[in-house]
Amino acid sequence: MADPTPEGKPSAAWWRSLGPGFVVAATGVGAGDLIAAAVAGQKFGLAVLWAVALGALFKAVLNEGISRWQLATGTTLIEGWGTRLPKWVGGYFLVYLVFWGFLVAAALMASCGVAAKALFPQIPIPLAAWSGIHAVAAFTLVKLGRYQAFEKVMKVLMGLMFVLVVVCAVLVNPPLVEMMRGLVWPSVPTGSATLLLGVMGGVGGSVTLLCYGYWIREKGWRGKVMHRRTIWDLLSAYALTGIFGIAVVVIAATAKPADASGSALILALADQLAVLLGPIGQMCFLIGFWCAVFTSMLGVWQGVPYLFADSVATLGRASDAMEAREQGLNLTPAYRWFLVYLAFPPLLLQFWHRPVAIVILYAIAGAFFMPFLASVLLLLNNRREWMGELKNGRLTNVLLMLSLILFGCLFVFEIVRRLSGG
309-327 tens-digit pLDDT: 999 998 877 666 677 777 7
Q: What is the pLDDT of residue 34?
A: 84
Statement: residue 396 has pLDDT above 70: yes
Angle subtended at Cα 265 by Cα 261 and Cα 266, rounded to the nearest 5 degrees: 140
Alpha carbon distance 95, 292 (integer Å): 27
Q: What is the pLDDT of residue 9?
A: 47
Alpha carbon distance 170, 307 (integer Å): 39
Statement: residue 8 has pLDDT above 60: no
Statement: residue 147 has pLDDT above 80: yes
Contact 178, 46 (CB under 8 A): yes
CATH architecture of 16-419: Up-down Bundle (1.20)
**Residues in CB range of 152: below 8 A, 6 or more apart:** none
In the chain, the amino acid numbered 173 is N
DSSP letters along 151-203, please?
HHHHHHHHHHHHHHHHHHHHHT---HHHHHHHHHS----TT-HHHHHHHHHHT
Q: 217-275 pLDDT, tens per residue?
A: 999 999 999 999 999 999 999 999 999 999 999 999 998 887 777 778 889 999 999 99
**What is the rounded end-to-end Cα distance, in angstroms, of the chain?**
48
Q: What is the pLDDT of residue 15?
A: 55
Helix, strand, coil percentages for the chain (3-state, nearest 5): 80, 0, 20
pTM: 0.91
Alpha carbon distance 8, 216 (integer Å): 13
**Residues in CB range of 56: below 8 A, 6 or more apart:** 203, 204, 238, 239, 241, 242, 245
- CA contacts within 13 A on the Cβ side of 92: 14
Average pLDDT of 77-99?
90
Angle subtended at Cα 158 by Cα 123 and Cα 396, rounded to the nearest 5 degrees: 145
Alpha carbon distance 135, 43 (integer Å): 33
Query: What are the Cα distances from residue 91, in Å, to 11, 309, 318?
Result: 43, 13, 16
**How many of the other CB atoms lie within 10 Å of CB of 84?**
15
Q: What is the pLDDT of residue 307?
A: 97
